[in-house]
């Protein structure tokens, strides 16, 4: 477990430290023979450059940071683990490290980011959950610091990102619902400073428009990004005089909450009321009923993000690294053809009124 340094290696080979270093870093002024000798000895003796020394000397960190979304809903982010796996995959191929940092309170957020980029700890940053206009992105842009965003802000022209086309997805979801005969489609959204919430709302509107329906503000509820949020929003919507017969939720988490709300009113999700979520949570298979959702192909998002960020750090133009993936409708059992609801609805109403 004894560390072998470049000095040991040099002494062992009878050459200078500088030569060893240059041989290992593929400098052109090293003869093939010595380069060979050095590399062989290096991995025979198990030499690994001390990263701290290397960093100090070169100024490059050989690490990137992932800014985790804020400690969010009651049900913790199921994606994070998967994303991290992908990221570490991509980075480890170069021997780079992944730092995980938390996003702080919005006020400190920028300060924290500034510290991170001046600290020299990382040479790139992965941001997630961008806001519509995100000060962090502007900061990084201005600083000229390499970064990539998981998602997009509203103006996404001049930086790198990886996103799912959720606008298209929500528009398609509306199509689907209307093809099933639904005419009144509720929307359960999230605060639109989060750009993905805006995108999905846009998709919902676009879908309505494309199908000749007019957007009815009363049919949209902005809720918390949690099951409870979805539940509250759904019961709000269903208590209307002329309630929607289908509910489109910005998130699977909200959708399962909506499912609960529907059931709580004595209605059958999928038959009386259709509910569609977004994310493709694996757990959706097990809800009651199984949740129909727009599934995003996020299997390799982490890997992609990592590779793209590395390319940018290598000098690639950020604008050339923008990937937009499509989400697919994953039909399970929470959607179904429109049908008039009679008894249970009244039943519920009388319950409400007592």
Contacts of 203 (CB under 8 A, 6+ apart): 166, 167, 168, 169, 170, 171, 172, 173, 174
What Rg value do the Cα atoms of the chain yield, rounded? 26
Binding site for a second copy (CB under 8 A): 1, 3, 48, 50-53, 55-56, 61, 63, 66, 68, 71, 74-82, 84-85, 88-89, 92, 97-102, 114-115, 117-121, 143, 227, 256-257, 259-260, 282-283, 285-289
Q: Which is nearer to DNA, 15 or 84 (CB)?
A: 15
Binds DNA (CB under 7 A): choice among 11, 16, 93, 100 = 16
Partner from DNA, a second copy, none contacting 183, C-beta within 5 to 8 A by type:
none
Q: Which is nearer to DNA, 27 or 193 (CB)?
A: 27
Contacts of 212 (CB under 8 A, 6+ apart): none
Question: By the 8 A CB rule, do 284 and 256 touch?
Answer: yes
Cis peptide before 317 (omega within 30 of 0): no
Partner from DNA, a second copy, none contacting 286, C-beta within 5 to 8 A by type:
a second copy
Partner from a second copy, DNA, none contacting 217, C-beta within 5 to 8 A by type:
none
How many residues touch DNA (CB under 7 A)?
29
CA dihedral sign, ordered 321, 204, 208, 327: positive
Min dist. Cβ of residue 104 to a second copy (A): 9
Binds DNA (CB under 7 A): choice among 12, 39, 49, 139 = 49
4: exposed, middle or buried (Cβ count in 10 Å: 0-12, 13-18, 19+): middle
**DSSP per residue, 122-149:** -SEEEEES-BSS-HHHHHHHHHT--EEE
Partner from DNA, a second copy, none contacting 209, C-beta within 5 to 8 A by type:
none
Min dist. Cβ of residue 97 to DNA (A): 16
Q: Which is nearer to a second copy, 244 or 277 (CB)?
A: 277
Q: Which of 112, 120, 111 has the alpha carbon at shortest distance from 145?
A: 120
Q: Which is nearer to DNA, 31 or 346 (CB)?
A: 31
The separation between CA 207 and the C-alpha centre of its own chain, rounded to angstroms, equals 24
Using CB under 7 A as the binding rule, whether residue 325 contacts DNA is answered as: no
Using CB under 7 A as the binding rule, whether residue 22 contacts DNA is answered as: yes
Chain residues in the site for DNA (CB under 7 A)? 3, 5-7, 14-19, 21-22, 24-25, 27, 29-34, 49-50, 53-54, 56-59
């Amino acid at each position: 477990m004894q560390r072998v340094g470049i000095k040991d290696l040099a002494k062992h080979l009878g050459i200078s430290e500088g030569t060893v270093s240059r041989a290992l870093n593929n400098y052109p002024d090293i003869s093939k023979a010595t380069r060979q000798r050095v590399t062989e000895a290096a991995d025979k003796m198990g030499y690994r450059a001390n990263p701290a020394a290397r960093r100090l000397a070169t100024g490059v960190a050989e690490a990137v940071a992932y800014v985790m979304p804020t400690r969010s809903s009651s049900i913790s982010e199921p994606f994070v683990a998967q994303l991290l796996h992908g990221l570490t995959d991509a980075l480890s191929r170069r021997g780079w490290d992944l730092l995980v940092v938390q996003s702080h309170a919005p006020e400190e957020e920028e300060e924290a980011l500034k510290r991170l980029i001046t600290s020299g700890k990382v040479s790139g940053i992965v941001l997630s959950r961008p806001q519509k206009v995100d000060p962090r992105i502007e900061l990084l842009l201005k600083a000229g610091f390499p970064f990539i965003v998981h998602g997009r802000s509203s103006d996404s022209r001049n930086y790198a990102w990886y996103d799912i086309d959720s606008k298209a997805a929500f528009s398609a979801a509306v199509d689907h619902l209307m093809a099933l005969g639904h005419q009144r489609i509720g929307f359960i959204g999230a605060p639109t400073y989060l750009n993905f919430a805006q995108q999905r709302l846009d998709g919902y509107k676009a879908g309505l428009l494309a199908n000749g329906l007019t957007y009815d503000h009363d049919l949209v509820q902005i809720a918390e990004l949690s099951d409870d949020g979805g539940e509250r929003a759904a019961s709000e919507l269903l208590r209307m005089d002329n309630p929607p017969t289908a509910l489109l939720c910005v998130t699977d988490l909200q959708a399962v909450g909506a499912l609960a709300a529907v059931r709580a009113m004595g209605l059958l999700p999928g038959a009386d009321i259709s509910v569609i979520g977004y994310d493709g949570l694996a757990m959706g298979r097990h809800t009651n009923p199984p949740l129909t959702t727009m599934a995003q192909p996020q299997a390799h998002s982490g890997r992609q993000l990592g590779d793209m960020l590395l390319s940018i750090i290598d000098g690639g133009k950020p604008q050339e690294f923008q990937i937009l993936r499509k989400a697919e409708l994953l039909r399970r059992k929470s959607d179904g053809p429109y049908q008039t609801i009679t008894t249970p609805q009244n039943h519920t109403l009388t319950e409400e009124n007592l």
